[in-house]
Amino acid sequence: MLKTETITINMGPQHPSTHGVFRMVLTLNGETIVDLKPMFGYLHRGLEKTSESRTYLQAVPFTDRLDYICSMSNNFAYAVAVEKLAGIEVPLRAEYIRVIMAELTRLVNHMLAVGFLFNDLGAWYTPVVYAFRERERILDLFEMASGSRMMCNYIRPGGVAADLPAEFLPQLRKMIPHLENFVREIRFYLSDNEIFKARAVGVGFLPADMAVAYSITGPVLRASGVKYDVRKAEPYSIYDQFDFDVPTQVAGDVYARYLQRLDEMDESLKILRQAVERIPEGEYATKVPSRLRPPKGEAYARIEAPKGELGFYLVSDGSPNPYRWRNRPPSLINLSALREMCLGHKVADVVTILGSIDITLADVDR
């Protein structure tokens, strides 16, 4: 009876809620989404190709720029890959430092993800400002260790760039209860907000089987109920020595992803507690020549980065430069299910769903 027309809207590349230069071509019927096409590549810097003309060590700062929120995790994954390729042993103290840094990075990332999710929902900067306050404290620790807040370039093949300063561990010890309290506070103030629940429950549902089919990883996958974590599935570094759980949710919607991030923050704090207690004295790095020539061959190493499985695939032809330098970014692959999650929802939900996937455009475009 009534004839309706769809309208096409370009959301982005300049849009406050696309978390960077990302564009979605939305086809709308009224406010309901009929079709969605993600368009990316605006931030492509050719990091993979550039790294192939650098030495193995020179490529470490590039990994900082992949997912600029989690530079430590990126360093970590790359270091593990290079060590696997060249067969380098890492001292135990360095492994502990790495784990501490990786878990702190996870905390930073999840804080921001939760905070910005509320920004996307229209809660005017209040939750995100509190998240930023806690993040700054962790960034202070990063600066103490590496000299830089965000582009840390700290975890290197063979170990870490420098030993922890003397005041680092006492300060971290003090901060752990504080951070635990922060997670509790978020749960208390935000989890039961009825408007938030109305906006998040049942929105952006990603069924477990579809998530696996799209090779989604990280919190998004676990929120759909699949118990998969690289730290448990294929333990790297010294993660097999820590006692922690892999939390999962059931519902697989935006709300489940939010809860999942909070649960993971709790687990990270658990790991941090153990690491701070057990960290041994000793060497912080194995000597690695600056023009490292790994033997001919290839290696793929992956870690559980805050956003999902982060992998590096390196091929060596025996020269100081890698023959192939390939990166598996969690943001890009998690983004691939965006269309399936958004169809049939409203315009406002796209923003929420995108926020709940938690992407960094620098990581998507590389």
Partner 1 sequence: MSLPQILFLVVGVITLGAAVAVVTSRNVLHSAFLLALTFFGVAVLYVLLDTPYLAAAQVLVYIGAISVLIIFAIMLSRKVAAPDLVQRNSQWLLSLIVAVLLFGVLAYLTLQTAWPAAKQALGVDAIGGLGEAFVGTYALPFEVVSVVLLVALVGAIIIARER
Partner 2 sequence: MQVLDDLWIRIAVWFRGLLESFLPPWAVQLTMDVLGILLLIVLGIVVVLAFTYMERKVIARVGDRIGPNRAGPFGIFQAIADAIKMLTKEDVTPTNADRWLFLAAPIVVIIPAVLLYAVLPLGRGMVGVDLNIAVVFVVAMGGIPILTMLMAGWASNNKYALLGAFRTVAQLISYEVPMVVALLTVVLLAGTMSTVGIVEAQASFPFALVTPVAFVVYMLAGLAELNRTPFDLLEADSEIVAGYFIEYSGMKFAMFFLAEYINLFMVAGMITTLFLAGWQWPILPSWLWFLIKVVLVIFLMMWIRATFPRFRIDQMLGFAWKALVPLSLINLFLVALVAKVLEPGWVRTGVLFVSNLALLAGAIAIMAQVARKREERARAAGEAAIKRYYGSEVR
Q: Which residues of this chain interact with partner 1, rule CB under 8 A?
A: 1-2, 5
Q: Which is nearer to partner 1, 5 or 277 (CB)?
A: 5
Q: Return the one option of partner 2, partner 1, none that residue 123 interacts with (CB less than 5 to 8 A, by type).
A: partner 2
Q: Which is nearer to partner 2, 299 or 333 (CB)?
A: 333
Q: How far is the CB of 1 from partner 1 (least distance, A)?
A: 4
Q: Return the one option of partner 1, partner 2, none that residue 226 interacts with (CB less than 5 to 8 A, by type).
A: partner 2
Identify the bridge partners of residue 138 per DSSP, sorted by sequence position: none
Q: Return the one option of partner 2, partner 1, none that residue 5 interacts with (CB less than 5 to 8 A, by type).
A: partner 1
Identify the bridge partners of residue 29 per DSSP, sorted by sequence position: 32
Q: How far is the CB of 15 from partner 1 (least distance, A)?
A: 24
Identify the bridge partners of residue 342 per DSSP, sorted by sequence position: none
Q: Which is nearer to partner 1, 6 or 274 (CB)?
A: 6
Alpha carbon 291 to its chain centroid, in Å, reads: 30
Q: Which is nearer to partner 2, 295 or 344 (CB)?
A: 344
Q: How far is the CB of 2 from partner 1 (least distance, A)?
A: 6
Q: How far is the CB of 39 from partner 1 (least distance, A)?
A: 28
Q: Where do contacts with partner 2 occur on this chain (CB under 8 A)?
A: 7, 9, 15-17, 30-31, 118-126, 129-130, 133, 193-199, 201-202, 205, 207-210, 212, 224-227, 248-253, 255-256, 346-349, 351
Q: Return the one option of partner 2, partner 1, none that residue 243 interacts with (CB less than 5 to 8 A, by type).
A: none
Nearest to residue 70, comparing CAs of 150, 132, 128? Answer: 150
Alpha carbon 272 to its chain centroid, in Å, reads: 17
Q: Which is nearer to partner 2, 130 or 312 (CB)?
A: 130
Using alpha carbons, list the distances in angstroms from residue 283 to 50, 94, 213, 332: 32, 7, 43, 37
Q: Which is nearer to partner 2, 9 or 150 (CB)?
A: 9
Q: How far is the CB of 66 from partner 2 (least distance, A)?
A: 25
The bridge status of strand 7-11 relative to strand 23-29 is antiparallel
Tokens of 243: 């006692």
Tokens of 145: 């260790």
Q: How far is the CB of 202 from partner 2 (least distance, A)?
A: 4
Whether the CB-CB separation of 65 and 364 falls below 8 Å is answered with no
DSSP letters, 202-257, are TSS---HHHHHHTT--THHHHHTT----HHHHS--TTGGGS-------SS-SHHHH
Backbone φ and ψ for 349, nearest 5 degrees, come out as: -75, -30
